[in-house]
Amino acid sequence: MERYSPNDVSRLEGRGVFFDANVLIFLYGGGNPEGYQQSVYSRIFSELVKMKNSLHVDYIVISEFVNRLFRIGYKSYLDFNGLDEKRFSFKEYRATPEANTCISGIYSTVENDILKHFRVIGKAFTKEDITGFLEVDNLDFSDKAIEMICRENRFVLLTDDADFAKSEIDILSANGNIVSQ
């Protein structure tokens, strides 16, 4: 298990790289909602494209990307209109023209950016796989599936999520809590 910093990208030539949802949000989310350096992940992405590495995502990552950006859109709507979640629910937001515009933009990004640059890899998880995910540890349920996909395909995971710090897979990250492990 190797840890790679942004300065190590050239060492990954020829390797498949699996992108976590948080990195896709930095690249395509229209801002930096979690306060990290979006430019670092943009540079990593550009270098990987230039080196012609195969770039991968799966349904889980795309689902997280869509749902998180839609929730960010909801929060922005609340802030812009001086509302709070108690007075205006997410379900009510989904029925607004602004929500339709928001989700259309997110879907367009998935179709025109993500699906054009990334190979979608799939995995049929078995009952045994899912039972194994039920162990309580640092990873959430979806992250355990991502870890398995990376392990089985020998992908390097590009993530900013420190929950993966102890994972026994190769990881590329700008997060010092991961690369300093």
Judge residue 179's burial from the number of C-beta atoms within 10 Å of its C-beta, 0-12 exposed, 13-18 middle, 19 or more buried.
Answer: middle
Q: Residue 122 contacts by C-beta under 8 Å, 6 or more apart in sequence?
A: 58, 59
Number of H helices, E strands in the chain: 9, 6
- At residue 38, the pLDDT reads 84
Torsion 173-139-144-69 (CA) sign = negative
Question: Cα–Cα distances in Å, from 176 out to 4, 52, 129, 162?
Answer: 10, 26, 30, 9
Tell me the pLDDT band of 85, cut-offs 50, 70 and 90: very high
When pLDDT is cut at 50, 70 and 90, the band that residue 163 belongs to is very high
Closest to 123 measured CA to CA, from 103, 93, 153: 153
Q: Tokens 């990881």, residue? A: 171
User: Per mean pLDDT, which range of 87-91, 97-101, 125-129, 177-181 is the poorest?
Assistant: 177-181
- pLDDT band (50, 70, 90) for residue 60: very high
Long-range (24+ apart) CB contacts under 8 A made by 144-149 are: 145/58, 145/60, 146/18, 146/20, 146/58, 146/60, 146/61, 148/123, 149/18, 149/58, 149/121, 149/123
pTM as predicted: 0.92
Residue type, 26: F
pLDDT of residue 29: 84
Domains of the chain with bracketed CATH: 3-64+110-179 (3.40.50.1010)
Has residue 39 got a pLDDT over 90? no
pLDDT of residue 154: 97
**Can you tell me the mean pLDDT for 116-141?**
92
The predicted-structure confidence for 17-28, as pLDDT tens digits, reads as follows: 999 999 999 999
